[in-house]
């Protein structure tokens, strides 16, 4: 053992030196390269600082935050097993060596993909694409863990489908696309993060560095104070107020105000984002245009021609289980019932006639509420005098007996001030409705959990699932729809808070948690990834319209009236 360590490090030093010489020898104008590197670095530094300059009154001190196991009830043996399985399903390989210089990290520009098979293929077949990831020195990577996404599309046909990426864990990846329409189809492979960046994201999430700062205001008589709040807080420093929900056991704490009592808390809000400190080497893995969401080029051809199916073979091979695809800019489902198109407000009204629709969650579900409010004039907003953004909101059509309600989910919530009286956990609200064939409960809980350890998300979902099971036990005909996360735009600063990699992990857990239950998914992940419009936390209107069509098709399946 003793002899090996120095020899190993000697090898690494040598490797680094050789690598650097290779790099230098392969760059005709090193100075240009250097300039570019430095200026990009400073640009990123300043953009991080600009966007996330923390408010003056936030402590920047390194605090001894540990994950809040001590603040929650222990999971039962059964829950612990389930948690292990869910965690296993999100397992992501680490590079064998950490903290290597950036030259050795994955570089999308030096990587390439190769389309397998003939330049002409047939509907019903499967397009196979091999991806070879290389580092900045142009040398092949020998391990996996890069976060890649894939899309096959035909811009002229308004068609697109997501590909499944298989990591061989040796620097090579295989992507499988179903061939679903005739015409020329183009392959698009994107490196969202190199594996070296995923390591950093894992660290940030695990250390739970409280990148988002939450507060509550306390008020009584003429006195008003505000203190910091979170799912867990360092409790050895100041006295805490315990707002743990008695029904779900969901933890929430605030520091006790100096003068006021814990029962004087009136609201909750996001105060701001804190500076997340990456060391200089880590920052290299989060560079705009270099290694955040950068396309991987084709080695040779980047498209094939798809011909009509051979021998009436129209069934797509089962190895690829895409949820659906776009054709002429409209979403078609590959799993289950056909999607109908609700092109007029009267079609929407007649589908929703007699329904109670509850939308409960984050702002990505509020978009649907807003869509209905905008396009269905019969649905009149009922003024509840709620603050904009957080609600609650309500639309009423008393002629057709339609009620649509939106409310935001409970903490953690990165929101403008919301009264504590309006902070409701999804599980508790589900327990307070009757349910039945005229009830639709739509849930979207994901975007506010990206900075927390995945265990916190598992715990939240478990409580929601229990409530959904209780609801379906008492009223099996209740329709429950669950919205999955989606890709969003990333820049160096955002990727530390909202990285699509966090969303992917949340997506995996969400699907695992509700698997086998009689609930419907709205696959926002694929609906955003397959579309040509840029990714956004709040997908643009054409995608929202398609999502509404999917939901209405769940509510009013074809063939039923
Ligand atoms: C962090 O807290 C733990 C438990 O309270 C304590 O043992 C440890 O010394 C603390 N570490 C620092 C750096 O304060
Ligand atoms: C974890 O996942 C791997 C592959 O997905 C599987 O082979 C293994 O049995 C799983 N382990 C547990 C404890 O579920
Ligand atoms: C050097 O650059 C050329 C052209 O960009 C590339 O083909 C080659 O693989 C590179 N070699 C190394 C060792 O980086
Ligand atoms: C990855 O693919 C390249 C190109 O086809 C091949 O040369 C290499 O052997 C593959 N790597 C592994 C570890 O299989
Ligand atoms: C907060 O209250 C909950 C529910 O009463 C309790 O289980 C938990 O232990 C309390 N937390 C602390 C730190 O005392």
Distance 34 CA to ligand 1 centre (A): 42
Query: Is residue 455 very low, low, confident or very high in pLDDT (cuts 50, 70, 90)?
Result: confident
For residues 55 and 429, the model is more confident at: 429
Say if CB 152 and CB 187 are below 8 A apart: yes
Q: Whose CA is nearest to atom 3 of ligand 1?
A: 64
Listed in order, strand segments (DSSP E) in 31-116 are 112-115
3-state secondary structure of 385: coil
Q: Whose CA is nearest to atom 10 of ligand 2?
A: 88
Q: Is residue 9 packed enough to be buried (19+ CB in 10 Å), middle (13-18) or exposed (0-12)?
A: exposed
Looking at residue 514, what is its pLDDT? 97
- Calculate the average pLDDT of the chain: 86
Same domain, 254 and 195: no
Per the listing, tokens 């293929």 go with: 121
Looking at residue 10, what is its pLDDT? 64
User: How far apart, in whole angstroms, are the C-alpha atoms of residue 293 and residue 499?
Assistant: 11
Distance 305 CA to ligand 4 centre (A): 26
For residues 8 and 484, the model is more confident at: 484
Same domain, 373 and 346: yes
Distance 257 CA to ligand 5 centre (A): 18
CATH of the domain at 437: 3.40.50.1110
Say if CB 558 and CB 341 are below 8 A apart: no
| Any domain includes 90 | no
Looking at residue 9, what is its pLDDT? 64
The finding on whether 70 has its CB within 6 A of some atom of ligand 1 is no
Looking at residue 11, what is its pLDDT? 66
Looking at residue 45, what is its pLDDT? 33
Query: Is residue 298 very low, low, confident or very high in pLDDT (cuts 50, 70, 90)?
Result: very high
Residue 163: HSE in the Cβ half-sphere, 13 Å Cα cutoff: 28
Distance 278 CA to ligand 1 centre (A): 22
The finding on whether 170 has its CB within 6 A of some atom of ligand 4 is yes
Among all ligands shown, which has an atom nearest to the Cα of 113? 4
Looking at residue 73, what is its pLDDT? 73
Same domain, 504 and 373: yes
What's the mean pLDDT in 266-294?
A: 87
For residues 198 and 38, the model is more confident at: 198
Looking at residue 212, what is its pLDDT? 85
* DSSP code per residue over 237-279: TS-EEE---TTT----EEEPPSSS-GGGB-EEEEEEEPPPP--
Residue 414: HSE in the Cβ half-sphere, 13 Å Cα cutoff: 19
pLDDT digits (tens, 9 = 90+) for 485-540: 999 987 777 777 778 999 999 999 999 999 999 999 999 999 999 999 999 999 99
pLDDT tops 50 at residue 189: yes
CB atoms within 10 A of CB 208: 18
Mutate to test the pocket of ligand 1, among 64, 65, 209 (most ligand atoms within 8 A of CB): 64
3-state secondary structure of 417: coil
Same domain, 33 and 182: no
Q: State which residues form the domain around 145.
A: 102-199+284-312
Looking at residue 5, what is its pLDDT? 53
Q: Read off φ and ψ for residue 515, nearest 5 degrees.
A: -60, 135
For residues 31 and 540, the model is more confident at: 540
Looking at residue 320, what is its pLDDT? 60
pLDDT digits (tens, 9 = 90+) for 480-497: 999 999 999 877 777 777
Same domain, 237 and 124: no
User: How far apart, in whole angstroms, are the C-alpha atoms of residue 259 and residue 496?
Assistant: 36
What's the mean pLDDT in 428-435?
A: 97
Whether the bond into 412 is cis, omega within 30 of 0: yes
Q: Whose CA is nearest to atom 5 of ligand 2?
A: 89
The finding on whether 244 has its CB within 6 A of some atom of ligand 5 is yes
Q: Whose CA is nearest to atom 13 of ligand 1?
A: 64
Is the CA virtual torsion 255, 260, 266, 272 positive or negative? Answer: negative
Query: Is residue 137 very low, low, confident or very high in pLDDT (cuts 50, 70, 90)?
Result: very high
Same domain, 138 and 188: yes
Number of domains composing the chain: 4
Q: Read off φ and ψ for residue 73, nearest 5 degrees.
A: -70, 145
The finding on whether 383 has its CB within 6 A of some atom of ligand 1 is no
3-state secondary structure of 215: strand
Q: 273-277, 288-292, 330-334: which has the minimum mean pLDDT? A: 273-277
Same domain, 290 and 408: no
Q: CB under 8 Å, gap of 24 or more: what pairs does 297-302 form?
A: 297/109, 297/111, 297/112, 297/113, 298/112, 298/113, 298/114, 298/115, 298/187, 299/112, 299/113, 299/114, 299/132, 300/114, 300/115, 301/115, 301/119, 302/115, 302/186, 302/187
User: How far apart, in whole angstroms, are the C-alpha atoms of residue 267 and residue 418?
Assistant: 5
| Any domain includes 465 | yes
CATH of the domain at 295: 2.60.40.10
pLDDT tops 80 at residue 372: yes
Residue 557: HSE in the Cβ half-sphere, 13 Å Cα cutoff: 7
Query: Is residue 40 very low, low, confident or very high in pLDDT (cuts 50, 70, 90)?
Result: very low
User: How far apart, in whole angstroms, are the C-alpha atoms of residue 468 and residue 173?
Assistant: 38
Among all ligands shown, which has an atom nearest to the Cα of 248? 5
Same domain, 503 and 418: yes
Distance 215 CA to ligand 5 centre (A): 19
pLDDT tops 70 at residue 208: no
The finding on whether 85 has its CB within 6 A of some atom of ligand 2 is yes
Q: What 3 state SS string does 430-498 have? A: HHCCCCCCCEEEEEECCHHHCCCCHHHHHHHHHHHHHHHHHHHHHCCCCEEEEECCCCCCCCCCHHHHH
Q: Whose CA is nearest to atom 8 of ligand 3?
A: 138
The finding on whether 64 has its CB within 6 A of some atom of ligand 1 is yes
pTM of the model: 0.83
| Any domain includes 454 | yes
Q: How far is CA 521 from the centre of its chain?
A: 15
Same domain, 429 and 532: yes
Whether the bond into 158 is cis, omega within 30 of 0: no
| Any domain includes 388 | yes
Q: Whose CA is nearest to atom 10 of ligand 4?
A: 172
* DSSP code per residue over 159-212: EEEEPEEEE-SSSEEEEEEE--SSEEEEEEEEEEE-HHHHHHHHHHHHHT---E
| Any domain includes 89 | no
Among all ligands shown, which has an atom nearest to the Cα of 239? 5
For residues 29 and 307, the model is more confident at: 307
Same domain, 432 and 528: yes
Distance 28 CA to ligand 4 centre (A): 28
Looking at residue 55, what is its pLDDT? 32
Looking at residue 236, what is its pLDDT? 72
pLDDT digits (tens, 9 = 90+) for 230-273: 988 876 778 999 999 999 999 999 999 999 999 999 999 999 88
| Any domain includes 148 | yes
* DSSP code per residue over 319-375: T---SEEEETTEEEESSSSPPP---SHHHHHHHHTT-EEEEEESHHHHHHHHHHHHH
Same domain, 331 and 308: no
| Any domain includes 318 | no
pLDDT digits (tens, 9 = 90+) for 304-363: 999 998 875 555 554 467 899 999 999 999 987 789 999 999 999 999 999 999 999 999
Query: How much of the chain, in percent, has pLDDT values that exceed 90?
Result: 68
The finding on whether 262 has its CB within 6 A of some atom of ligand 5 is no
The finding on whether 477 has its CB within 6 A of some atom of ligand 4 is no
Q: CB under 6 Å to ligand 3: residues?
A: 22, 26, 137-138
| Any domain includes 149 | yes
Query: Is residue 14 very low, low, confident or very high in pLDDT (cuts 50, 70, 90)?
Result: low
The finding on whether 167 has its CB within 6 A of some atom of ligand 2 is no
Same domain, 243 and 331: no
Q: 104-113, 119-128, 138-147, 496-505: which has the minimum mean pLDDT? A: 496-505
Q: Whose CA is nearest to atom 14 of ligand 2?
A: 85
Take residue 443 and report the two structure tokens written for it: 């849930």
The finding on whether 242 has its CB within 6 A of some atom of ligand 5 is yes
């Amino acid at each position: 053992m003793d002899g090996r360590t120095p020899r190993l490090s000697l090898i690494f030093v040598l490797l680094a030196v050789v690598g650097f010489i290779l790099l230098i020898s392969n760059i005709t104008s090193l100075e240009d390269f250097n300039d570019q590197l430095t200026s990009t670095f400073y640009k990123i530094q300043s953009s991080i600082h600009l966007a996330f300059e923390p408010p003056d009154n936030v402590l920047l001190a390194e605090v001894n935050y540990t994950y809040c196991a001590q603040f929650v009830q222990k999971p039962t043996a059964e829950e612990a097993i389930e948690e292990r399985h869910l965690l296993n399903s999100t397992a992501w390989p680490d590079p064998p060596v950490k903290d290597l210089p950036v030259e050795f990290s994955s570089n999308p520009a030096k990587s390439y993909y190769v389309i397998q098979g003939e330049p002409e293929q047939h509907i019903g077949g499967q397009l196979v694409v091999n991806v070879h990831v290389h580092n900045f020195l142009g040398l092949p990577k020998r391990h996996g863990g890069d976060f890649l996404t894939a899309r096959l599309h035909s811009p002229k046909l308004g068609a697109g489908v997501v590909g499944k990426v298989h990591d061989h864990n040796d620097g090579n990846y295989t992507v499988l696309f179903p061939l679903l329409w005739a015409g020329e189809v183009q392959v698009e492979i994107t490196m969202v993060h190199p594996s070296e960046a995923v390591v950093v994201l894992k660290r940030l999430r695990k250390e739970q560095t409280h990148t988002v700062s939450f507060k509550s205001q306390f008020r009584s008589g003429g006195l008003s104070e505000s203190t910091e709040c979170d799912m867990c807080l360092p409790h050895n420093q100041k006295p805490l107020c315990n707002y743990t929900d008695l029904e779900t056991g969901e933890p929430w704490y605030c520091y006790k105000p100096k003068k006021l009592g814990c029962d004087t808390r009136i609201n909750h809000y996001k105060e701001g984002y804190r500076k997340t400190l990456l060391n200089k080497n880590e920052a290299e893995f989060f560079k705009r245009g270099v290694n955040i969401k950068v396309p991987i080029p084709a080695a040779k051809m980047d498209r094939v021609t798809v011909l009509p199916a051979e021998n009436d073979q129209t069934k797509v091979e089962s190895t690829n289980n895409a949820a659906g695809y776009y054709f002429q800019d409209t979403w078609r489902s590959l799993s289950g019932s056909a999607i109908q198109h609700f092109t007029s407000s009267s079609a929407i009204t007649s589908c929703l006639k007699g329904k109670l629709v509850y939308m409960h969650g984050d702002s990505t579900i509020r978009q649907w509420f807003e869509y209905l409010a905008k396009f269905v004039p019969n649905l009149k907003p009922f003024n509840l005098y709620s603050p904009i953004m957080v609600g609650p909101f309500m639309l009423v059509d008393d002629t057709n007996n339609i009620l649509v309600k939106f409310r935001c989910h409970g903490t953690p919530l990165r929101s403008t001030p919301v009264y504590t009286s309006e902070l409701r956990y999804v599980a508790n609200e589900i327990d307070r409705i009757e349910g039945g064939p005229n009830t639709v409960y739509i849930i979207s809980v994901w975007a506010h959990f990206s900075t927390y350890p995945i265990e916190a998300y598992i715990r939240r979902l478990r409580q929601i699932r229990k409530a959904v099971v209780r609801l379906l036990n008492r009223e099996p005909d209740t329709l429950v729809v669950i919205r999955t996360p989606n890709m969003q735009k990333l820049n160096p600063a955002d990727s530390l808070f909202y990285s699509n990699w966090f969303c992917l992990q949340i997506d995996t857990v969400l699907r695992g948690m509700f698997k086998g239950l009689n609930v419907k998914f709205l696959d926002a992940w694929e609906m955003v990834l397959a579309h040509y419009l840029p990714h956004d936390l709040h997908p643009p209107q054409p995608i929202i319209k398609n999502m509404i069509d999917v939901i209405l098709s769940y509510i009013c399946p074809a063939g039923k009236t």
